[in-house]
Chain A
Amino acid sequence: MYRLSPAWAASRGDGGPTAPMARSAGSPLPAELLARPVLVIEDEALLAWMLESLLGDLGFAEIVMAASESEAVRLLGDRSPGAIVSDINLGVGVPDGVEAAGTLAGTAAIPVVFVTAHAGPVNRARIAEAFPRHAIVAKPVALETLAAGLLAALDGPSVH
């Protein structure tokens, strides 16, 4: 299990959610990842907000928050995210998070972290097939589990 270094853990908490400070110097995540936009796909506003502030704490310079695949496509345009953090269940009648992340990742091996209440075997298989670099993190998410998920996804083929 990944642990925060005491110095870095102590430095978090002073940046507002709307103005994340670049802390890549102390973040466990590589600077080149933090420099690119991270996409959050989560339909529940409060959960999206929590992810936004945690990702801000982790040092991401730009956090794009979308409630759905279509909104993510609209917000990103033709830019490609450096990482994706997505819920799986995005409501009835719309593409779910696995589909949405697939659309947004395209053919690039972008690290994807799925944050979900319950990833059944079917979704686990879909994720393993579609995303060479992924991790699955249980809701509710904490800073440490999100950071560990991103690092695991960065590392490539999942060992979960």
Chain B
Amino acid sequence: MIASPDLDKASLGAVLKTALDAVVVMRLDGTIAGWNDVAERSFGWSFAEAQGRRMSEIIIPHRHRASHERGLAHYLATGEGPVLDRHIEIEALHRAGHEVPIELSITRTEQFGEPVFLGFLRDISERREAERRQELLIGELNHRVRNMLGVISSIAHQSSREAADLPSFTRNFTGRIAALGRAHDILTATVWEPAPLASLVESLAGPYRNEDRISVAGDAAALKPRELLAMSMILHELLINALKYGALSTPTGRIAIEWASENGRLGFGWTESGLADIAEPERSGFGSKLIDLGVRHDLGGTIERRWNPDGVAYRLEFPSGVERP
């Protein structure tokens, strides 16, 4: 610290009192001679309690005490102080026993009429917490990306088994990835908080809702991210199946989509009508396997499939924790 020699020492003390960092004055013998308001708040000791006590006994964690005392003795003997006039990140001890991460800067000064050490200690708990959160988020992001890569390679794998040729593989595969993309769009908008099932249905079925062939009636049920992703795959397969073989493959076909949530469970119905001579297919393909797996494995629910003469009907039920009033 540099100040004009004619400055009033008491005023300098008043300035340090209002500093934003904890300010601690330590005499050359290692005892505390100054302690501002922030120091009181940060470490839990009032100036009256701290005054005259050894710095190492009050705010230095046990494991650092010996090296602190050694460093002080070394400085007094040789004038070498490697910790002086630098920024150091270290832990300080609070009166209550917990440690506080701090950024520390110590300088030797004679501004108070005798040589003392002047320490500025900044509580960096918030910064550390932000760093910790960021690491967690990156870890979570990495996990999700890896998982999504696994999901995509599984979709590619299964789509290739079902496809008759490369063009149909490409069409099916990209359609499935696009459905996942829609669910991600919705989850991005809600910042990965529960999102309305209605948004997903509108996003996926919306393009086919011309001429009122699809009716939608559902409550404000919100699905957790995982549930919404699973439902996006299921809905996509239902739609694709309807386009290829079902209600959307003929001009007379209709689909009624409805859902309701109650007591932590969601019931979802998909009823196709307006078709003729519907028979249960002999072999179940990718779509029905994915729907079954999605409902049972991802959603932990049940599925009922009925082959009515005028169209197929599905009834899904699964536990879904979140509802919106």
Contact status A17-B150, CB under 8 Å: no
* CB closest residue in chain B, given A68: B300
A117 B147 Cβ-Cβ under 8 A = yes
Of the listed stretches B125-133, B152-160, B263-271, name the one at the interface; the rest are far from the partner chain.
B152-160
B153 lies within 8 A of A140 (CB)? yes
Indicate if the CB atoms of B298 and A50 lie closer than 8 Å.
Answer: no
- Cβ of B294 within 8 Å of any chain A Cβ, yes or no, is yes
Question: For residue A141, which residues in chain B have a CB less than 8 angstroms away from its CB?
Answer: 150
Taking a contact as CB atoms under 8 Å apart, the answer to whether B146 and A50 are in contact is no
The answer to whether A139 touches B297, judged by C-beta atoms less than 8 angstroms apart, is: no
> B150 to A67, Cβ gap below 8 A?
no
CB contact between B143 and one of A46, A117, A140, A142 (< 8 Å): that residue: A117
A55 at the interface (CB under 8 A from B): no
- Expressed in whole angstroms, the minimum distance between the Cβ of B284 and any Cβ of chain A is 8
- On chain B, the residues within 8 Å of A47 by CB distance are 147, 150-151, 154
- Expressed in whole angstroms, the minimum distance between the Cβ of B162 and any Cβ of chain A is 9
Q: Is the CB of B298 within 8 A of A89?
A: no
Instruction: Report Cα–Cα, A20/B289, bound state, in Å.
Output: 15
Interface size on A (CB < 8 Å)? 23
Residues in A whose Cβ lies below 8 Å from that of B290: 45-46, 49
A50-B289 in contact given A117-B147, A118-B146 (Cβ < 8 Å): no
Question: Please, how many angstroms separate the alpha-carbon atoms of A43 and B297 in the complex?
Answer: 7
A128 CB → nearest B CB, Å: 21
Q: How far is the CB of A49 from chain B (nearest CB, A)?
A: 6
Check B293 for interface membership: any CB of A closer than 8 A: yes
Q: Is the interface of B mostly helix, strand, loop or mixed?
A: helix
Tally chain B residues at the interface, Cβ within 8 Å: 26
Within 8 A of B (CB), among A48-62: 48-50, 53-54
Contacts between chains A and B (CB distance < 8 A), count:
75
Would you call B293 and A49 a contact (CB within 8 A)? yes
Using A46-B155, A117-B142 as known contacts, say yes or no to A140 and B150 having CB atoms under 8 A apart. yes
Report the minimal beta-carbon distance from A87 to chain B, rounded to whole angstroms: 9
Name the one of A43, A48, A118, A140 contacting B149, with C-beta atoms under 8 angstroms: A140
Say yes or no: A53-B157 contact (C-beta < 8 A), given A44-B298, A45-B297, A89-B143.
yes
Residues of A within 8 A of B297 (CB): 43-45, 48, 65, 67
Of all chain A residues, which has the CB nearest B145?
A117
CB-defined contacts of B158 to chain A, threshold 8 Å: 17, 46, 49-50, 53
Nearest CB of chain A from residue B252's CB, rounded to whole Å: 33
> How close is B166's CB to chain A, nearest CB, in angstroms?
15
Q: Are B154 and A49 in contact (CB under 8 A)?
A: yes
Q: Does A16 sit at the interface, judged by CB under 8 A? A: yes
Q: Is B316 an interface residue (CB 8 A)?
A: no
Would you call A5 an interface residue if the criterion is a C-beta within 8 Å of the partner chain's C-beta atoms?
A: no
* Interface residue ranges of B153-198 to A (CB < 8 Å): 153-155, 157-158, 161
User: CA of A142 to CA of B153 in the docked complex: distance in angstroms?
Assistant: 9
Nearest CB on A from B152, distance (A): 8
A62-102 interface with B by 8 A CB criterion: 65, 67, 89
Bound Cα distance A139, B150 (Å): 6
User: B147, B154, B155, B157 — which one has the most chain A CB atoms within 10 A of its CB?
Assistant: B154
Chain A's closest residue to B230 (CB) is A45
Query: Smallest Cβ distance from B231 to chain A, in angstroms?
Result: 12
Most buried by A among B147, B293, B297, B300: B297
Smallest Cβ distance from A149 to chain B, in angstroms? 15
What's the Cα separation between A53 and B233 when bound, in Å?
A: 19
With A50-B158, A139-B146 in contact, do A45 and B293 touch (Cβ < 8 Å)? yes
| B289 pairs with A49, CB closer than 8 A | yes
Distance from B264 Cβ to chain A, minimum over Cβ atoms (Å): 15
**Complex Cα spacing A49 to B230, Å:** 14
20 A–B pairs (Cβ distance < 8 Å), ordered by A: A17-B289, A18-B284, A18-B289, A45-B294, A46-B154, A46-B293, A47-B147, A47-B151, A48-B297, A49-B154, A49-B289, A49-B290, A49-B293, A50-B153, A54-B157, A117-B143, A139-B146, A139-B150, A140-B146, A140-B152
Please provide the 6 A-B residue pairs with the shortest distance between their CB atoms, ordered closest to farther. Answer: A117-B146, A50-B154, A45-B297, A140-B150, A46-B154, A45-B293
